[in-house]
Amino acid sequence: MNETYKIELHNGRKICGEIELSLNLEKSLMKIKYSDTEGRKGEFSGHNFFYILADIRKFYNNIGYKLLCKGSLSNVFTGGLAAESSFGELAYQIDEKTGSKAVVNVFDKISQDEINNIDSFEMQKEKRRSVIKKFASR
């Protein structure tokens, strides 16, 4: 498996560049190599693409950038069969009002209208707990 995605970078005011992510699966180890339009390059690895993307997001958040992709949205969570069968490339996007789920690719682009729905990975985990608790009681 070798896939490449290009994702826009946002600095809080405007789109200010792009990051290219190259996914690689070697046995049970996943790797994402990244390079951006400002010359930063590197690689993160792990056992689930969603969590590797979270590490890349943390790195970019620390230097003032958000990645404009589905995996950055506060209501997108990995888990279940979708994550297992795709090594974390697919996740569930939860409608917070109805609890309905849609399967999305965490690397798919989002529109600028969705920027306000981007959250840190820690807040994303908290939102997941909250949604599970809300709909588990039904």
CA angle, residues 70, 47, 75, in degrees to nearest 5 = 25
In this predicted structure, what is the pLDDT of residue 90? 94
Per DSSP, which regions of the chain are E strands? 2-10, 15-26, 29-36, 41-46, 66-67, 76-77, 90-94, 101-105
Q: Which segments in the chain show pLDDT lower than 50?
A: none
Three-class DSSP category at 104: strand
Predicted model pTM:
0.90
pLDDT in tens, 33-65: 999 999 999 999 999 999 999 999 999 999 999
DSSP 69: B
CB 30 within 8 A of CB 88: yes
In this predicted structure, what is the pLDDT of residue 79? 78
DSSP 123: H
Long-range contacts of 79-86 (CB under 8 A, 24+ apart): 83/48, 83/50, 86/49
Q: How far is the C-alpha of 75 from the C-alpha of 119, rounded, in Å?
A: 9
In this predicted structure, what is the pLDDT of residue 1? 66
Q: Which amino acid is at 123?
A: M
Q: How far is the C-alpha of 115 from the C-alpha of 18, rounded, in Å?
A: 15
